[in-house]
Structure 1
């Protein structure tokens, strides 16, 4: 199983400690793409028009400084780094034993700066969104797509791809072929806040309870014990199944 998560704009970086060691990150085949993006990000973040180019509010100029220092800034485990609504619902620090091992194996964050990360990877603080048109690189969603295809296809294995990403981050990788037939997009009626919360709960439930599902229908059946679910098949080949999900009242 592969559970895809978006990153979060809210982060809790460490203020001391060793910097990211690129050699230790998951998906080592992304090393060259990561260097390209991070070098462009550091260069752009030092420009007078950086806030406009990166879509960063003027009140967050400190984030731009961090971008210029990403290579040497203290690294934080991904499981602690991202915070916010989805990650509060996931509540990774309280998972232990088999649940934590599943989280480390199944959860992957799709990142504009790093491509893809597992919970045990350690990264420095940065500010970069997937919809940015990064000078020297291009619009990041389409740019990352060919780089992420092979590693994420391999990570999917023979189980479902449970997609909890926002639409912006979904542009960075779309499963194809046999993997696309097991691609399940978690959709939640209502406001963005509620959607993020529910997706975090879905990811947590799967990590806590495990899963033997090999098909979207089997996955929906497993989740129906804890959520109200409605599964809709793809309209066309290559599109995801839609799993409308609501926690029980």
Structure 2
């Protein structure tokens, strides 16, 4: 099983591990694409004003420029600890016990705009780059789409895609039984469904933490739905999105 998470714009500073080493990351077939993205971001880093515009940063976010300039020498920490924000605050990875963290290392993957897919325990530095950022000579969607799709297509088990649509477009999950896209919804008093934003991320974080604490061995969509019900989550099949998109599952928050 693989659980795909989106990254977060916000990240913890510091780290106790050595600087970024691409050969220490999961999915080594992405190394060439990672090198190109890092090089393009490095080229942009020579002009602070240009980087501010390209990354859509405001005056209070000037330190993000220095983060990107220091990528090669900055300390690293596990990806699941690096990211902060609503989803990762709800997940609260630093408080997981050792067994849950080992399970995360085997199952959880974070989709980084800079590094592509990274394992939960992969050591990464703090950086700033989003799926819609503009880099000189490199379009992130066309750059990452095929390499990431190939990696995900090679995964034989259950894929639970909790990414935002922007990141899902940056590297689509395969369309096959056992590959599902999770959409968080709420129900109003009349039973009408609506999409969520803040609580969407919170629900995904809570769900992922529950999986890591429970450590179920899930091999199919039926397994996923059955476990979710036993764990207190309201999760069911959504509308069929057609042959071109993975099956959708709705998680009711």
TM-score, scaled relative to structure 2 = 0.88
Please say if residues 217 and 231 of structure 1, whose CA atoms lie closer than 8 Å, have aligned partners that are also in contact: no
From 161, 164, 189, the counterpart of 2:162: 164
**Deviation for aligned residue 1:128:** 0.3
Match among 202, 207, 210 for residue 205 of structure 1: 210
1:162-219 deviations in Å (ceiling 9; x for gaps): 1111111111221235xx3222122112431100010111111222223333222331
Q: 1:73 to 1:224 in 2, by over 3 A?
A: same
- State which of 173, 176, 179 in structure 2 corresponds to 1:175: 173
- Residue ranges of structure 2 left out of the alignment (5+ in a row): 186-194
The aligned length equals: 242
Deviation at 1:234, TM superposition (A): 2.4
Q: How many Å separate the matches in 2 of 1:66 and 1:123?
A: 12
Q: Unpaired runs of 5+ in structure 1?
A: none
1:66: how far off? Answer: 1.6
Residue 233 of structure 1 and its aligned partner are, at CA, apart by 4.9
Residues 1:220 and 2:225 are matched in the alignment:
yes
The residue aligned with 1:84 is 85
Secondary structure of the residue that 2:53 maps to in structure 1? helix
Match of residue 152 from structure 1? 152
- Contact 1:27–1:151 under 8 Å retained in 2: yes
Per-residue deviation at 1:60?
Answer: 0.9
TM-score, normalised relative to structure 1: 0.89
When the two chains are superposed, the root-mean-square deviation of aligned CA atoms in Å is 1.8
- Equivalent residues in 2 for 1:11-26 (5 A)? 11-14=11-14, 18-26=18-26
